[in-house]
Amino acid sequence: MACRDICSDDRIQSRTKLMSAKPTLSQTFREWAKKVADGTGIPRYFVHQVAFEARMTGVRLTTPFRRRRIRALEKSGELRLIFGCGTTRYPGWIGVDCFRHPSVDLLLDLRRRLPFHDASVEYCYSEHFLEHLQPSEALAHLREVHRVLKPGGVYRIVVPAGILFAKKYLEGDTQFFALAHPWEERPFDALYQILNWGGQHRGIYDFSQLQYVAQTAGFAEVRECQVNQSPIPLLRIDRSEPQRVAESLYVEALKAS
């Protein structure tokens, strides 16, 4: 995820460590930020934000040096972008993130203007990224994606189904929470976690809200999908673990032809 957490709680950290024996740069950065916060008594969320913005300043300052590579990618023809790729490599796609990792092809602050020409990108994709943006940033991002997509291009978006979690909580559906967030002891903890995620989730979505924002950004059509179900085979790249599927909302935003 592009705006990934730096000071997330210990349970998130323990799961992350189990996933990777060798800490990534972003994990090391999170641990450093936690130590600074705990050592000084400054709230973790404040240290997180200051450290993150300092890091993003460096990313933005170095973006002009990547323009030659970006132009070469545009000339290659079928340009497909993954926003917030994190540690996952998607064959045939250009991984874009704000944290360095071998799977990241382009280092960008995705809250800012995308350094691509108008109508130069075939498809875009993001999974559990958009919720890390403030609502105004999410709208600006969608407008940028709409600008760079070719006519008829598609942006497939996967986000946490925050409103579904609230609905299941009110219904008392403990089976849903056992599948969607099995590491939380109480459904309320799972609801809080999916909406907040250590202070890193800044947007809450259901289909109608995502449809509204995407259409406001200029997309001609917005459709709700199921996991790895798309009329475009290239967009069937969603993670398919039962837990991930249960917690996610799948949407495709189409630019007019």
Q: What is the CATH number of the domain that holds 217?
A: 3.40.50.150
pLDDT digits (tens, 9 = 90+) for 72-126: 888 887 899 999 999 999 999 999 999 889 999 999 999 999 999 999 999 999 9
- Look up the pTM and report it: 0.84
Summarize the confidence of residues 58-71 as an average pLDDT. Answer: 88
CA distances from 120 to 96, 144, 190 (A): 16, 12, 40
7 falls within a domain = no
pLDDT digits (tens, 9 = 90+) for 182-193: 999 999 999 999
Please classify residue 166 by burial: count the beta carbons closer than 10 Å to its beta carbon, then call 0-12 exposed, 13-18 middle and 19+ buried: middle
What is the distance, to the nearest Å, from the Cα of residue 36 to the centroid of all Cα atoms in its chain? Answer: 26
CA pair distance 92, 25, nearest whole angstrom: 24
pLDDT of residue 72: 87
CA pair distance 202, 133, nearest whole angstrom: 6
Residue-number span of the structural domain to which 103 is assigned: 67-254
36 falls within a domain = no
Q: Is the confidence at residue 3, as pLDDT, over 60? A: no
Total domains in the chain come to 1
81 falls within a domain = yes
3 falls within a domain = no
Residue indicated by tokens 């600006």: 140
